[in-house]
Structure 1
Amino acid sequence: MAGGAAGTTHAPGDVRSYEHLLDKRPWYKNRRIILLNFWIVILLVTSSTNGYDGSMMNGLQSLPQWQSAFNNPHGGALGLLGAIQNIGSLSALPFAPYMADILGRKSCIVWGACLMIIGTVVQTASQNVHMFIGARWLIGFGLNFAATGAPMLISELAYPSQRGQITSLYNSLWIFGSFIAAWTTFGTFHINTSWSWRIPSAIQGFPSVIQLCLIWFVPESPRWLVNKGREQEALKILAYYHAHGNEKDPLVEYEFQEIMTTIQMDREAKESVGWTTLFKTPGNRKRMRIIIAIAFFSQWSGNGLASYYLNKVLDAIGITSPTVQLLINGVLQIYNFVICVFGSLWCDKIGRRKLFLWSTGGMLITWVMETVCFALYSERRTTAAAHAFIAMIYLFSTFYALAYSPLIVTYTIEILPYNLRSKGFTVFNFTICCSLVFNQYVNPIALQNIGWKYYTVYIAWLSFELFFIWMYLVETKNRTLEETAAIFDGEDEVALIEKRATNRVEGRESDDVMVDNLNEKASIE
């Protein structure tokens, strides 16, 4: 066996136990990591489809041609048009995690991409509102499959030192899709035919076409392969992309043995893993409390008003020109993308907890100012109040994009152990879909009936969010997936995984000892 990991011991909870094993060259000088990151980019575009949809619906509402084609929807009808994609996503939730665990992460993505392409074709060809709603439901149904497989595969494939940043970029691509949609609808605004809204609808399927063409070349998750008894395939993938094909490389040996150790411990310690397992132990309940909370927070922080109903908000402050509305939306999406990428790339240096605290605190302050500006405009109808309100939208978006756009998927995946990852991530997606359906249906109705007073509800909610984040969010930066998931079960669990992975690399731990050590894990739990 090669050296490296074998000669190093770590104190319990010591972070970055693998750091001395990493390739010290910049990633752009390592051809295999460049290739791996290229395949990961193919997976990242899944999020673009979702982001594209929200901004596209915003833009379409500013197009007179779309309004005319669908009889000027408003109130509940408009809420249904906005929410139907997430209703489709909810419908897929009972099936997506089983496909990801049984058939693999890639199978989920392929199936989801096929459904989204079909849905996009129907949406583009829609002749009435019912056809449009049905197409959006199918897009949402397919999106859930792709959005279940892609982020898990990204996190389970990425080079260890890049995992946090790359997984965070997954949700950042939501905003990339969003600003593509914003500028597409801005560009098609001057087309006087139905193609002004059909062209943006057709482009929504482009990321799925790219994925369907290239997904066959993307490697499968090494963790899924190990769980299916295909250890040699998993080892080859880790070696090829993380160590130029060297299966004896210390980093590859450490990664592989850590995966083997964790999966075998989970497999032997539990006869079966069901949905109730998510809430059985104190560590799992702590995970789910945080996951469900940040899923709700990501949609119930007031951001839904600007994400899906910006034109209604701008109408309320006297900015009714479709050209100006589309321009504001387009610039806002580019600005959000820049901030989101910053949060993604610095998440390991600043830390998840700090970014979430800064983000939530900043949103609370700017939302209060936004509410004041909206109230002043409603009473005095001054241009200054309207312009100040737009400035507050940008400031609020700055803080939201700093943490909630890039980190919610990253944090959810990394705190879940492998055996719970797909089911826990499904609960996360279910929570987001529920909050979105409620938000998208209620927001236009509430805004129409109570105006600026509706904003005060979010002031109270953002205050609660800030308290929750400060009280319960755990820092997870600079750990491997296995170590990150284990900290919720206690630092002794982290030490046990590190110790046993190191021992297996050195050849000191036999299979009999592994079985005996399950008693040690049981005592920790």
Structure 2
Amino acid sequence: MGKDTFELGGQEWPKVTWWKMKGMRFVYLTLWAAMITSATNGYDGSLMNGLEAMETWNESYNHPSGSTLGLLAASMAIGSMLSIPVVPYVADIFGRRAGVVVGCIIMLFGVVMVSIGYKIALFVVGRIILGFGLGIAQECAPLLVTELVHPQHRAIYSTIYNSLWYVGSLIGACVALGTNHIHGSAWSWRVPCLLQGVPSICQLVFIWTVPESPRWLISKGKLEQAKKVLAYVHAEGNEDDALVNVEFDEIRQTIELEKEFEGNSWAEFWSTPGNRHRLIILISIGFFSQWSGNGIVSYFLPQVLKLIGITNSNTVLTINLILSAVNVVSATGICFFVDYFGRRKLFLTSSISMLVCYIVMTIALARFEIAENDHAARAVIVFIFLYYISYNIGFSGLLVSYSSEILPYRLRAKGLTIMFFCVDLSLWFNQYVNPIALEAIQWKYYIVYCVFLAFEIAVVWKFYIETKEIPLEEIVKKFDGDRAILGGAAASEKANQLTGHLDANTGFNDEKAMTTQVELKA
């Protein structure tokens, strides 16, 4: 495959320049309305660090610590877990855009409750509602992005989606640092809480400028509308474009074959070797995204810095702000090299680098406890930054994009639900257990993550496969081999055997589709 081409349907196609194509340019510039869901989640992570460092917030909630602080932080993850039973059905029945809207409306109710009063119970319930809405929106939004963008741009845009977590985190850090100067007033913490609703309001207004997923439209039998979306986004509205026809036929035939011969129940995930392989990746990547040690700093930075003698709130908030800025640059920067290096290499590099950083931090923390060595304290801060750059190489952006692309359409919403459930479960554990463990055994808790990171490297090496520059529908061949269900010009052997049955019963291989395939094979 040449550097100026990409592959689809067994053919090479010239790469396009998105800003020179009217429809693509408009959609890509408005796609932020779906992608900022991730930033909303990131804002919350930075918000909790900011609140914990604010004296006014601590006074309002009677200086929470230990299990109480863990419950306050973990309540959002609890809400996300409670949304698990409904999320895939909202995405598959009502559509990707409608799912984002439903999630945003629920989040706004949660923001109001969090911002109202001083009661811990009200704060916890508000964050549970906030997490419930986020659980719906954060699954529907990446599905829309992955299924809508041009094949050439899938890796970049789907990876940028999750990297925007840090944009939200940076904004949250800036707001917390600024409002901390409102001395002696509850508005110093109320304002950051209220601003958490701004992204949801923006999404409710602008999400309608983004077209619906053509794959969802095809699954609902809205073929004409789906083709118009594909043509508008990928070919400046030309429905006779060869690439659009190949995409349309491959997507439509694959979905029809899946409906006819494959199930989409939860049991499908352990019914075949390929799906069991996918399930291992989904579960592991969900836990690895939070159990790689990032959960300590993301939500409990003040407690970590206290281990090296840093307690001044402005100093803590400044470090939080700089860390967020570094994360934005490193996480978004790597997105443009995903197809150059490949997913597997990035995951392995990330895991190995994080282990090295954690070992160094553990040693430095131990030395500081023994002698309160300033060099050890500075080493901890430096390697916190290096650790996050290492984390961002693999797990920041690829968490959602890799999980989405390894799944066939019929299982994509349910598969992402499984992955996000593992994320929420690990978040709940981290946010509840981490402050207790840090208070009880301090730096020794870092040893637990050193051991886990070694296990993580082994799992990534064994199970994570490369999907570099492979079209979305065609990735099934990597997992299912001869059993893969894939239509269109790149149809698998099994699909070709089944096509005759569908021709006789559904007639989906119309004359135009047949002509396109004959031309491509010729």
Q: State TM-score, norm by structure 2.
A: 0.92
Alignment partners' CA distance in 2, 1:280 and 1:289: 13
Q: Which residue is equivalent to 1:375?
A: 366
Residue 197 of structure 2 aligns with which residue? Answer: 205
The match for 2:23 is 32
Establish whether residue 171 from structure 1 lines up as the match of residue 162 from structure 2.
Answer: yes
- 1:368 deviates by 0.3
Of residues 274, 278, 282 in structure 2, which corresponds to 1:287?
278
| 2:74 is the counterpart of 1:83 | yes
Does residue 61 of the first structure (1) align with residue 64 of the second (2)? no
Alpha-carbon displacement from aligned partner over 1:195-229 (angstroms, at most 9, x marks no partner): 11111111111110100011222211111111111
Deviation of the 1:382 alpha carbon: 1.2
1:269 is matched with which residue?
A: 261
RMSD: 2.3
Q: Which position in structure 2 is the counterpart of 1:256?
A: 248
Give runs of aligned pairs for residues 437-456 of structure 1, distance below 5 A: 437-456=428-447
Find the partner of 2:172 among 163, 181, 188. 181
Residue matched to 2:207 = 215
Give the Å deviation of 1:17.
3.1
Q: Quick check: 2:9–2:488 contact (8 Å CA) kept in 1?
A: no
Partner of 1:225: 217
Q: Find the counterpart in structure 1 of residue 293 from structure 2.
A: 302
Pairing 1:457–2:448 present: yes
Change (3 A) 1:353 1:514: farther
Corresponding position of 1:389: 380
1:427 matched to 2:427? The reply is no
Quote the Cα distance in structure 2 between the aligned partners of 1:362 and 1:500: 40
2:333 to 342, 366, 387: 342
Matches of 1:27 and 1:293 in 2, distance apart?
35
Q: Deviations over 1:180-205 (max 9, x none)?
A: 10111011111021111111111111
For 2:443 and 2:505, the matched residues in 1 are separated by 62
Deviation of the 1:501 alpha carbon? 9.5
Question: Identity of paired residues, percent?
Answer: 43
2:108 & 2:247 partners in 1: Cα distance? 37
Q: Give the Å deviation of 1:19.
A: 9.0
**SS of alignment partner, residue 16 of structure 1:** strand
- Residues 417 and 486 in structure 1, CA contact (< 8 A), matched pair in contact too: no
Q: 1:142 to 1:488 in 2, by over 3 A?
A: same
Letter in 1 for 2:258: D
Corresponding residue for 1:133? 124
1:45 is aligned to 36
Query: Is the Cα contact below 8 Å between 1:18 and 1:251 reproduced in 2?
Result: no
CA contact (8 A) 2:88 2:414 kept: yes
Determine the C-alpha separation between the residues in 1 that align with 2:25 and 2:64.
47
Task: Tell whether the 8 Å contact from 2:47 to 2:176 is kept in structure 1 after alignment.
Answer: yes
Is the contact made by 1:273 and 1:420 (CA closer than 8 Å) also made in structure 2? yes
The correspondence for 2:313, drawn from 314, 322, 338, is 322
Aligned-partner residue type, residue 349 of structure 1 = Y
Aligned residues of 2:48 and 2:73 also touching (Cα < 8 A): yes
CA contact (8 A) 1:54 1:178 kept: yes
Who is 1:235 aligned against?
227
Offset of residue 408 of structure 1: 0.9
Contact in 1 for aligned 2:231/2:237 (Cα 8 Å):
yes
Per-residue CA shift, 1:463-489, capped at 9, x if unaligned?
010111111110001111101233210
Q: 2:322 pairs with 319, 331, 337, which one?
A: 331
User: Which secondary structure state, in structure 2, belongs to the residue aligned with residue 61 of structure 1?
Assistant: helix
1:98 and 2:96 are equivalent in the alignment: no
Question: In the alignment, residue 444 of structure 1 is paired with which amino acid?
Answer: P
Contact 2:9 2:250 in 1 (8 A): no
Q: Determine whether 1:74 maps to 2:65.
A: yes
- CA change 1:298–1:93 in 2 (3 A) is same
Return the alpha-carbon distance in structure 1 between the equivalents of residues 268 and 15 of structure 2. Answer: 40
SS in structure 1 at match of 2:164:
helix
Structure 1, unmatched stretches of 5+, are: 1-9, 518-525
SS in 1 for 2:457: helix
1:493 corresponding residue in structure 2 = 484
Q: Report what 2:520 is aligned to.
A: none
CA positional deviation for 1:89 = 0.6
* Distance 1:126-1:486 versus aligned 2 partners, 3 A rule: farther
Task: Tell me if structure 2 keeps the 8 A contact 1:262–1:497.
Answer: yes
CA distance in 1, matches of 2:128, 2:431: 14
Moved over 6 A (4+): 513-517
Corresponding residue pairs, total = 500
Residues 510, 454 of structure 1: alpha-carbon distance in 2 compared, 3 angstrom cutoff = closer
Q: Which residue identity lines up with residue 449 of structure 1 in the other structure?
A: A
The 1-side partners of 2:504 and 2:390 are apart by 50
Structure 2 partner of 1:3: none
| Contact 1:342/1:402 (8 A) holds in 2 | no
Query: Which TM-score applies when normalising by structure 1?
Result: 0.91
